[in-house]
Structure 1
């Protein structure tokens, strides 16, 4: 029997990091989520309450379908369509997934969009951290309170404190 370390050390690898999925893979997952939402809507249209998460919405004449909430398009400015049936919504999502698999320019647009969103997120995080750094450089409130108590302490030497009135 071989030892545990000898057996498995040849297969040692680094763990995959969270969030390291490519932009195209992440887009495929989001399309799959949308197809699941569509199936849920088709099974119970009246009870469906996840409209805020969907890429499809009711529109005059059918359903409006957008390519996510991102500012990307599928080429030639195509980012929103209106279709008549849920079957056409499903067909659009299928074509969109196939487009993401085969169209190099669309894949580049997905990557650029991911980089743009990451930059926005990082700049927002930097803005949140900046006021905290400014607050640390300010004079702490406890120092101000001790300074004012020293002044009032000097004033108390001059005037006696008011005592309680005796009960009668």
Structure 2
């Protein structure tokens, strides 16, 4: 097989000749971490009883935002190398209001709104004004229907009240982040 850069004139003696022979590939590799999966695993661990260890986590700014929110709600977080140890908290029994910084992360914001609505406390989620201009209508409608507080002012979103058990109907064309956010908490109702 010869390789050369298209559009360049390589003399015949400059071509690279490679011979590929059948062989067995073996070994171990660590797949690149999924930020989407890491958010979800960390939040599940934060809402679960006991201690969980999540491995192969890329501590990006978005993941750090999620970890900060979990800490603000009372979860214990220890980061070591590419692993995160999470000591969960019963989000139904959080006894104090919290301020949660979502930084610039839409995933963190959309995942944490239902988590905050499990505490019954007044919780404020912060982020840039641009972040809070992202679509959140699914949660606004749920809060309105259940008589819960959902107030956006500049870079602040305040939610207060506790979600109730019942039927939750959401449009099928929305981001999976809304559905994941609800799935984190609805089994706890």
Report the TM range for the smaller structure's normalisation.
under 0.3
More helix by share: 1
TM-score for both structures, normalised by structure 1: 0.24
Higher alpha-carbon Rg: 1
Select the structure with the greater relative contact order (CA < 8 A; seq sep ≥ 6): 1
TM-score for both structures, normalised by structure 2: 0.22
More strand by share: 2
